[in-house]
Structure 1
Amino acid sequence: MASITFYGGAKQVTGSMYLLELEDNYKILIDCGKDLENHDAEIFDFDPSDLDLVLLTHAHYDHCGNIPLLFKSGYKGQILCSAPTIALAELVLKDSANIFDNKAQKKKSFGKAAFRHKIDRQNESGYSKGEVEKSLDRFISISFNSKFAISESLSVTLVPAGHLLGAASAVFEIKEAGTIKRIAFSGDLGRKSSPLLNDPLPLPQVDYLVCESTYGGRVHEGKDMPESLLEKIIYECCVEKRGRLIVPAFSIGRTQTFLYLLNKLSKEGKLPTLKVFADSPMAKRSTKVYDDYLDQLNDEAKDFYKVNKSLFDFDNLIQIETEKESKSLANFMEPCIIIASSGMITGGRIKSHVRSNLRNAYSTILFIGYCAEGTIGHKLINGAKSIRMNKKEIPVHAKIARTDIFSGHADADDLLGFVKSQQKDKLKNVFLVHGDQGNMEAFDRKLSSEGYKVEIPGKGQSYIL
């Protein structure tokens, strides 16, 4: 009998990693993400050399960040995913390798045993650019909505998930003992009416569904058009208060959405004359990938491109490349918008911009995406009066704003609709993953009240299918 084991994304949001094992011992890993909530967690609780195949749903770090380590630990197979996911995963993994390398270089000067041990631990959980290149050679692209035969008894179909360029849900069809079983993995689902991406597509009928639950207990608040809300926020912060708007945003996905909406405002004459600094070299490279895969964006974005010849470029947009340029923004005194990663303020150049502006009552820090518990972003959203950064406690005088109108995740209503496209008498079980306890339990209650059988797996827990 086939089975599934939950090695990541179990009762938490990050680190997605699920092992599907067939009756003949063929093993498929679905996603291989970094656990951003528990950095000391054991990376693999299985032997990577035993795996036969890896399927990647999309290119966010918490879904693909451990792939080079998989090869480093003995995996010799292939990675199946969509073509845009390959292009974006290359950027994510190379950027990650640079971060590991920079951390190692900084700590080389320390000679104490405790520091040497820390470096050794980081080397175990890190990887080099060369190791990234080796793993990229094993990526294979497959088309959406077309059954891909892996063997005579196994196939997979990628269904657009709408969360990120190239993001997919995966539907596996397994033939065992004369019967056919279908197991689907939602990946991360996007919200409907995204500014850039098409809506997620419903899945064909399956027997088992592994479903994300990031916003399983919440309905998105934003009811205005994203452009209208953004226009209002910019006017209040940069025109009335003549302050800075600081926007923590992930380099891949959220930054492109934000720049696209700024571009629309600019072309409509609704963007005030002020500098917009996009402080993320990786975001700049990611926007190029969006241009390369224009055919996979929604009709509105394609029509906008036909008229304006660019999705993301507009007057007064300045792309920041070097660290020196980034640091110099602290001395730019005019009203402006600064967009930088990461969206949760867990690292990257945004930490410097937030640190420089927390005391500034004229500044607004605008959160446009999910922030996991324990992150600086989560603390600010929840009303922290001060934040500890660089070993100093910094009082929060800046205005802290938040909107989920730019969210790339389906909310509780969207998720419920996604599951309800399945006939409850044919869907044997729904496994909830990729959510915190509160959202998972709330979504469990919704689904159970609709008559669906639901499980919330713990890490390492296995189920016979």
Structure 2
Amino acid sequence: MKLTIWGAAKQVTGSMHLLQSEDYNILIDCGLDYEKDTYQEENQYFPFEPSTIDVVILTHAHVDHSGNLPTLVRMGFAGQILCTPPTADLTELLLMDSVNIFLSKQNRRSKGKRAGSGPKPLYLHKHVMDTVERFVTISFDKEFSLNPNVSLKFIPVGHLLGAAAVVLTLLDKGQEKKIAFTGDIGRKNYPVLVDPQALPPVDYLVSESTYGGRVHSKDTTLEQKLVDTINETCVKFPGRLIIPAFSIGRTQAVVYSLNKIFSEGLLPPVKIFVDSPLASFATDVYRKYHHLLNEESQDFYRRKGDEFEFEELSYVQDKRESISISNYHEPCIIISSAGMLEGGRIQDHLYYNIQNYYCTILFIGYCAKGTLGNRLLRGDPIVRLRHRDLMVFATIKQTDLLSGHGDHDDLLANVTQQDPGTLKKVFLVHGEAKSQESLARAINEAGYEVSIPEKGEVFDL
């Protein structure tokens, strides 16, 4: 049995791992690597022949895990894509959105040049639909046989609706071996989502390491942080709070948290705009799979109704309505995508508010190096928007209380719950080098063998 790490090696994006056993090739995740400006060009080729892949297992919907599936299909993959039911629905939304982003970049970069001369899209809507047709959904904690020698089970890990670790049991040359891929591990007590479930005993573990070496803030609660920020920005002063948030996952967590705050009367009413059509569609998926949300969320629903709908809240539908928000002069909260500010309607709101002293921009998630969000967080005094250099007068804040990833302690606990006599090796992926090194030291000190793979590195298991 061979494991090859083809993505998210010593970086966060582009998760893709190839497991080969007795002429059966399993690809775990097929995400976009978007840590370079040329990511569309970088993602159009695979280091293997797509037609040789027998099956793809998708841990969750985020595009750094799912976003290159249509390219794989377009280039010859003809097998099934296995995932949980919510992951199938959310992935379809995100892949369709990716096509729209590709097309908008093509049009934007070809302005003043020959039509369509911008970067060619990785895939089109047709390829997304071809991909969706290959989805086969499997419920959590259900043993599923891929062939007589391979079976899998999806274990809930929080992080995002439908997100799962996959545990594979393989009969390799007459010997049974178990290997788990964590995907992305969530954190306990996260809004709406269930807590990560412990993994069963395995022989090998491929673990994410995003927050290696970092521990989440524990000096305040998420609700208190939001109350304090809203009070300072929108109550004491007639300002506006802009929250860049990914449409799927973070937006639903923020909306639910705000619903609790205002329904409990912790603040006077403040108008809230959710400016993302994708967020509206995703919220419908959360409603569809309401039975998979955590017990607190379900109890809130029984007592007070829909977690994602309340009086102060408006979902913005069309572009004209989005533009009109700039003419809303009362204090307000704007939740818009994308979370790293690299596209979407959030850029319009930044353009009109980045020089507003009464505006606060609250980051609630990770911003990769090179992104506009990262530049604001590092304190750049001038940023470029719509081909203009703008001074940054808005207040920039950040909180990790809505991070969907478990921290160093959570990641370490996920390893140390395994029997060191059984677990032969831990492979760390999906993290920056510094984070991986910190987590690797802690895992090693706990008595486990650990490796930080290079991209393309092959391991005999």
Give the shorter-chain TM-score range: over 0.9
Out of 34, 47, 56, the position equivalent to 2:49 is: 47
Q: 1:108 to 1:230 in 2, by over 3 A?
A: closer
Q: Which residue of 346, 351, 357 corresponds with 1:350?
A: 346
- Corresponding residue for 2:367? 371
| AA of the residue aligned to 1:354 | L
Q: SS of 1:377's equivalent?
A: helix
Aligned residue identity for 2:54: D
Query: Deviations along 1:402-454, whole A, 9 cap, x unmatched?
Result: 11111110000111111111111211111100011111111111111111111
Paired residue for 1:430? 426
Q: CA deviation at 1:362?
A: 0.9
Distance 2:94 2:418 in 1: 34
Match status 1:398 vs 2:391: no
Q: How far apart in 2 are the matches of 1:223 and 1:197?
A: 22
Q: Secondary structure at the match of 1:59?
A: coil
Aligned-partner Cα distance in 2 for 1:42–1:93 = 14
Q: Which amino acid aligns with 2:30?
A: C
Find the counterpart in structure 2 of residue 11 from structure 1. Answer: 10
| Cα distance in 1, alignment partners of residues 185 and 84 from structure 2 | 15
Amino acid in the other structure paired with 2:25: K
| TM-score, normalised via structure 2 length | 0.96
Look up the match of 1:81. Answer: 83
CA distance in structure 1 between the aligned counterparts of 2:338 and 2:421, rounded to whole angstroms = 43
Local SS of the residue matching 2:247: coil
Q: Distance in 1 between matches of 2:35 and 2:349?
A: 23
CA distance in 2, matches of 1:271, 1:463: 55
**Correspondent of 1:207 among 186, 199, 203:** 203
Looking at structure 1, the residues matched to 74 and 291 of structure 2 have their Cα atoms a distance apart, in angstroms, of 35
Shift of 1:173: 0.6
For residue 459 of structure 2, what is the amino acid of its counterpart?
A: Y
SS of the equivalent of 1:238 reads helix
| Displacement of 1:110 | 5.1
State the one-letter code of the partner of 2:85: A
For residues 210-245 of structure 1, the C-alpha deviation after alignment (integer angstroms, 9 at most, x for no partner) is 000010110001432221221111001101122110
> How far off its partner does 1:323 sit?
1.5
Q: How does 1:225-374 map to 2 (within 5 A)?
A: 225-374=221-370
The runs of 5 or more residues in structure 1 that have no matched partner are none
Q: Secondary structure at the match of 1:371?
A: coil
- Report what 2:379 is aligned to: 383
Structure 2 partner of 1:451: 447
SS in 2 for 1:28: strand
**Contact 2:241 2:360 (C-alpha < 8 Å) held by counterparts:** yes
Q: Which residue of 2 aligns with 1:68?
A: 70
Partner of 2:103: 101
Matched residue, 2:29? 31
Q: 1:87 to 1:184 in 2, by over 3 A?
A: same
Amino acid at match of 1:271: L
Alpha-carbon distance between aligned partners in 2 of 1:104 and 1:371, rounded to the nearest angstrom: 23
Which secondary structure does the structure 2 equivalent of 1:270 belong to? coil
Task: Give the counterpart of 2:411 among 385, 408, 415.
Answer: 415
Q: 1:109: Cα distance to partner?
A: 6.2
Task: Report the number of matched residues.
Answer: 457
TM-score under structure 1 length normalisation: 0.95
Q: Which residue of 2 aligns with 1:20?
A: 19
Check conservation: 2:355, 2:392, Cα contact below 8 A: yes
Distance (Å, rounded) in 2 between the aligned partners of 1:223 and 1:276: 27
Q: Pick which of 252-261 and 393-402 moved more.
A: 393-402
Specify the alignment match of 2:171 in structure 1. Answer: 175
1:105 shift after superposition: 4.6
* Structure 2: segments with no counterpart, 5+ residues: none
CA contact (8 A) 2:33 2:43 kept: no
Counterpart Cα distance in 2 of 1:392 and 1:108: 18
2:317 and 2:207 map into 1 onto residues whose CA distance is: 38
Cα gap change, 1:388 to 1:257, in 2 (>3 Å): same
SS in 2 for 1:8: coil
In structure 2, distance between residues paired with 1:83 and 1:66: 19
State how far apart, in whole Å, the 1-side matches of 2:10 and 2:16 are.
12
2:292 partner amino acid? Q
Task: Determine what percentage of the aligned residue pairs are the same residue.
Answer: 48
Distance 1:359 1:106, change over 3 A: closer
Q: 2:179 is matched by which residue type in structure 1?
A: I
Following superposition, the deviation at residue 41 of structure 1 comes to: 2.0
Contact 2:274 2:335 in 1 (8 A): yes
Q: Distance in 2 between matches of 1:310 and 1:391?
A: 41
Deviations 1:377-405 (A, max 9, x none): 11212222221222322211111111111
Residue 153 of structure 2 aligns to a residue whose secondary structure is: strand
Q: What is the aligned-residue RMSD (CA, Å)? A: 1.5
Which letter maps to 1:11?
K
Contact 1:266 1:315 in 2 (8 A): no
More divergent stretch after superposition (253-262 vs 443-452): 443-452
- Match of 1:286, SS state, is helix
SS class of match (1:313): coil
Give the Å deviation of 1:100: 2.5
8 Å contact kept, 1:222–1:404 = no
Residue aligning to 1:90: 92
AA in 2 matched with 1:27: N
CA distance in structure 1 between the aligned counterparts of 2:308 and 2:346, rounded to whole angstroms: 20
Q: Residues 57-107 of structure 1: CA distance to partner in whole angstroms, max 9, x if unpaired?
A: 000111111111111000000100000101111111111122223444556
